[in-house]
Structure 1
Amino acid sequence: MALFLQGCTFAQQYASSLLHGKSQSSTRALKLGVLSTARINSAAVIHPAETHPDVELYGIASRDAQTAKNAATKYGFSKSYGSYQELLDDPLISMVYISLPNSLHFEWSKKALIAGKHVLCEKPFTSNAEEARELFRVAEERRLVVEEAFHWQFHPAAHLFRNILESNKYDRIIRTDAWMTSTPAIPSGDIRWQYDLGGGSLMDECYALSFTRYALHNERPKQILSAAARPSKDDGRVDAAMHALLLFEDDNGNPITSRIYTDLSRSRLGGVLPRVWELPSIEVETDAAIIYFYNAMMPHIYHYISITDKRTGITEYKTQSSGGPIWGDRWTTGGKGGKSYWSTYRWQLEAFMERVRDKEPICWVPSEDTVIHMECIDEIYKKAGMPIRGDPMEVVKDEKVRMAQKMEQTETSGRSEKT
């Protein structure tokens, strides 16, 4: 559903921009730089920044100067840069948003921190847990903000979901089931299929793991009970799909089993029609109820939280687009409780800017939670018999393969010339 949801959120953000216009920047607005001209930028940071008075869309960078210039003209950036480092060297930029391929998150986030910039980095935060720990170390050392962009956790619907689970009305949690799939399937050649770029379904669709850990207060699993991957046809190190079963425990030591399912290539129904009933979601079963959060990933497009009481058989439905348990009494740049048309990305930007301003944001993804999240991904890959991303041994192996291929091509070319 990734491509389908992306299309929906692009349309929603574009319509919101037209209907609600742009906010006038405040005199204290901070300059934002964007590393890459990735398609996600418009929904993830550009349109959200348009309605945040403390953010100025200042610079955008690409490896190609003309590409960067075109993006700057299209979206109203003041400057463009023909390299990522050139943007980081600009002393006027206070913060950067990084939407580069997964394998480049660590390198450029670290360079941005060293250059004195606050960082909002797309998920997955890094290639592995070791890299995540290093980024937070550098950020703490330099007293800078670095945040993984798990935008859905900032939305009021997510807070309502957790509030329902915490209410004790439905007793203890006994199991969870979370999923994220892609229909149409991610096309071949996409970076999500490339191991060297941090590809794989668990990496790209780690929202399913995020939903699960959020519902369970971001706990560390006691054990990865099982993990089975369906390898990509082109590279056995890349998971086209991943099934994992995790064991958690509640505060009283009671077991909670959690299933995670990710899939980049759901090809049924001809692989063309989106399976809208499979929007990224999570189901939580308690002793007394089944609680289902439909489209937890992008609730600003559409969502509902259904609660089926096992004791009565009655199902009730809830939604939350602004205010709610956390934002309800909070004054934001959009007024008290925020705006109902804000996307998950806009709510995220609200919190990010509070932290950058050295305030205490009302909700946040703590560094320790991000590290545990990456540790879980590493352990699931190991359990499935697959290499973790950024594994030095795999890098060496790749280099040897490339060298062998190059030598073979040279020899073949030489034989042809002699013939």
Structure 2
Amino acid sequence: MASLVSMVGRLWGAFDPPKSPKSSDALKFGVLGAANIAPLALITPAKSHPEVIVQAVSARDRKKAEAFAKAHGIPEVRDSYEDILNDPNIDCIFIPLPNALHYEWAVRAIRAGKHVLLEKPSVSNSIEAESLFNLPELSKPDGPVLLEAFHSRFYPSWSYFRSLINPADVVHVSAYSMIPWWGTGKNDIHFNYALSGGSMMAMGTYNMATLRLIFGAEPEECLSCDTNAYTDGIHDKCDYEVKAKFRFPNGGIGEAETTLKGPTYWTPSHVTVTNKEVVVPDDTIPTAQEKVLSRELTLHGFIHGVFWHRIDIKNVYTIRNKEGGAVIKKWEEKTFHKAYTFREAGGQFADLPGETFWMSYRHQLEQFVNRVKGRKTQHWVSAEDSIGQMRMLDMAYEKSGLGPRPTSKYRVEDS
């Protein structure tokens, strides 16, 4: 009962956070597109951040933008995306547009001197990623800040989970995510190839990023990529579920499975890490014997940890003869942990900011503002990381036979 009350209170605060007075030097955001993700990813988290104001929004349909602004308390509505980019009063741009438009509008925003918070996946393929993240403006000391909004990486439970892992010891990782069948429709942008749709671009990108981060390396090969995909007209080549397998440099195997047409009941995302067997020093056993540990770690709810998550640690100990390997004794120990704040994560994270009601998007916004303001950031998604992520997605799409998502016709020279 206590845990239920705690969850209700936490989620109430996450979706209706206390409003913070705004500082005189607060960053003013312009939002390109009246997207459904914008309230969750920026507008709601901004309420509790003293240095963030969501100032303006624009959409292809001005009436839609006006209704969106009224619903979310955004002071200004602009006729076009260009109007927002050209406004000297706007410091930062949030881009929650369909995937195929990310590249063009991120380039335009950076060329306009704006800091950019860019929804994931950052672009449609690795060609666009190489171009975007290597823009010369981004390498200038006082140049714009660009962040691919992989919000889940900023949550305390993820930081704590990774701290338990030594990438060199990892032999297998499996990551699963889903959206129930009723949560998407065939005409959603997820299933529009021209807009760079597909389950790998939607939920699968979380899974694949998780594999890369846990192995601490880029995959050498996509061993298999089995998909179910539409094959009719506008939905052609759009996967709605996928299971991909990758080999990493240490020989370990990573598996990513996701679906946008899942069972009726939603199941939390989860990632399980299997480590190689390691010898544990133990002076209490005979010298002819050895004690070894096999560890399995699982993070339930690795995408939206604020709703619910749990870190399971399963340690399997074996005492055996060094000669011949005969097992003398074997037993299992299980523990679990939660970290809704960095204080709960403890250790090296204990002093990092955050409240129980902060969702991953709020933690992400904290770090984005810190980077823009020239302050230290504890977590970040680097340009190399974002480029590597798109290479992995391309690798999987190539193996599936569907091919990478199409490259934008927009060129940097056009801005």
1:84 Cα deviation (Å)? 1.2
> 1:182 is matched with which residue: 179, 198, 203?
179
Are 2:119 and 1:122 equivalent residues in the alignment?
Answer: yes
Change (3 A) 1:190 1:83: same
CA distance in 1, matches of 2:303, 2:312: 16
3-state SS of 1:91 partner: coil
1:27 aligns with 2:24: yes
Map Cα deviations across residues 24-48 of structure 1 (whole Å, 9 max, x no partner).
0011111111111111111110011
Residue by residue, what CA displacement relative to the aligned partner does 1:131-152 show, whole Å, maximum 9, x if unpaired?
Answer: 1121112242562111100001
1:211 corresponds to: 210
How many residue pairs get aligned? The number is 363
Query: Which amino acid counterpart does residue 319 of structure 1 have in structure 2?
Result: K
Whole-angstrom CA distance in 2 between matches of 1:321 and 1:228: 35
Give the Å deviation of 1:249.
2.6
The answer to whether structure 1 residue 231 and structure 2 residue 250 are counterparts is no
Matched letter for residue 56 of structure 2: G
Query: Is 1:80 the counterpart of 2:46 in the alignment?
Result: no
1:159–1:326 Cα contact (<8 Å) kept: no
**How far apart are 1:326 and its partner, in Å?**
5.0
* Distance of 1:351 and 1:111 partners within structure 2: 23
Structure 1 equivalent of residue 296 of structure 2: 290
Q: Determine what percentage of the aligned residue pairs are the same residue.
A: 29
> Which residue of the partner structure matches residue 257 of structure 2?
261
Task: Please identify, of 342-351 and 63-72, the stretch whose mean Cα deviation from structure 2 is larger.
Answer: 63-72
Write out aligned runs for 1:362-401 (5 A).
Answer: 362-391=378-407
Distance 2:153 2:405 in 1: 25
CA contact (8 A) 1:13 1:43 kept: no
Contact map agreement 1:37 1:71 (CA 8 A) in 2 = yes
| Structure with more strand by fraction | 2
TM-score, normalised with respect to structure 1: 0.82
Q: Aligned-pair distance for 1:16?
A: 3.4
| 8 Å contact from structure 2 (residues 193, 236) kept in 1 | no
Q: 1:318 to 1:121 in 2, by over 3 A?
A: same
Map of 1:309 onto structure 2: 315
User: Aligned Cα RMSD in Å?
Assistant: 2.1
Helix, strand or coil at the partner of 2:134: helix
1:202/1:17 Cα in 2 relative to 1: closer, same or farther (>3 Å)?
A: closer
Pairwise CA distance, 1:309 = 1.1
CA distance in 2, matches of 1:245, 1:263: 15
**Per-residue deviation at 1:327?**
3.8
Q: Contact 2:14–2:359 at 8 Å: present in 1 too?
A: no
**1:274 correspondence with 2:265:** yes
What are structure 2's unaligned runs of at least 5 residues?
Answer: 1-6, 277-293, 318-330, 411-415
Q: Which residue of 2 aligns with 1:328?
A: 350
**AA at the equivalent of 2:382:** P
Cα pair 2:173 2:273 within 8 Å, conserved: yes
Q: Does 1:249 align with 2:249?
A: yes
Counterpart secondary structure, 1:310: strand
Q: Distance in 2 between matches of 1:15 and 1:340?
A: 8
3-state secondary structure, aligned to 1:354: helix
The 3-state SS of whatever aligns with 2:164 is helix
Greater mean deviation of Cα atoms: 355-364 or 95-104: 355-364
Code of the aligned partner of 2:48: T
d(CA) in 2 for partners of 1:127 and 1:375? 10
What's the offset of the Cα at 1:391? Answer: 4.3
| 1:159-184 Cα distance to aligned partner (Å, 9 max, x none) | 11001113x9xx82110101222213
Contact 1:127 1:198 in 2 (8 A): yes
Query: Secondary structure of the residue that 2:252 maps to in structure 1?
Result: strand
Contact 2:30 2:93 in 1 (8 A): yes
Distance 1:314-1:327 versus aligned 2 partners, 3 A rule: closer
Matched, 1:319 2:338: yes
User: In structure 2, what residue type is equivalent to 1:314?
Assistant: E
| Cα drift, residue 379 of structure 1 | 0.9
Q: CA deviation at 1:60?
A: 1.0
Partner-residue secondary structure (3-state), 1:152: helix
- Distance change (3 Å), C-alpha of 1:275 and 1:392: closer
Q: Is the 8 A contact 2:100 2:196 kept in 1?
A: yes
* Aligned-partner residue type, residue 213 of structure 2: Y
Which residue of structure 1 aligns with residue 197 of structure 2? 199
Paired letter, 1:58: Q
Q: Structure 1 residues 326 and 83 mapped into 2: Cα distance closer, same or farther (>3 Å)?
A: farther
One-letter amino acid of the structure 1 residue matched with residue 202 of structure 2 = D
In structure 1, the residue matched to 2:282 is none
The code of the aligned residue for 2:207 comes to A
| Counterpart for residue 323 of structure 2 | none
Give runs of aligned pairs for residues 339-354 of structure 1, distance below 5 A.
Answer: 339-354=355-370
> 1:14 Cα deviation (Å)?
6.0
Q: How does 1:88-103 map to 2 (within 5 A)?
A: 88-103=85-100
The structure with the greater share of residues assigned to helix is: 1
Structure-2 residue corresponding to 1:338? 354
Asked if structure 2 preserves the Cα contact closer than 8 Å seen for 1:327 and 1:362, the reply is no
Alignment CA distance shift 1:15-1:362 (3 Å): closer
Distance in structure 1 (CA, Å) of the matches to 2:363 and 2:384 = 21
1:292-350: CA deviation from partner (whole Å, max 9, x where unpaired): 110100001100010111223222111101123554223xxxxxx32111000000000
Residue 10 of structure 2 contacts residue 356 of structure 2 at CA under 8 Å; is this kept in 1? Answer: no
Return the alpha-carbon distance in structure 2 between the equivalents of residues 15 and 184 of structure 1.
Answer: 29
- CA distance change for structure 1 residues 239 and 160 in 2, over 3 Å: closer, same or farther? same
* Other structure's SS at 1:22 match: coil
User: Is contact 2:165–2:214 with CA below 8 Å preserved after alignment?
Assistant: yes
The DSSP-based 3-state class of the residue aligned with 1:292 is strand
Q: Is the 8 A contact 1:178 1:211 kept in 2?
A: yes
Structure 1 unmatched ranges of 5 or more:
1-8, 331-336, 396-419
Letter in structure 2 aligned against 1:322:
T
Residue 71 of structure 1, aligned match among 30, 44, 68? 68
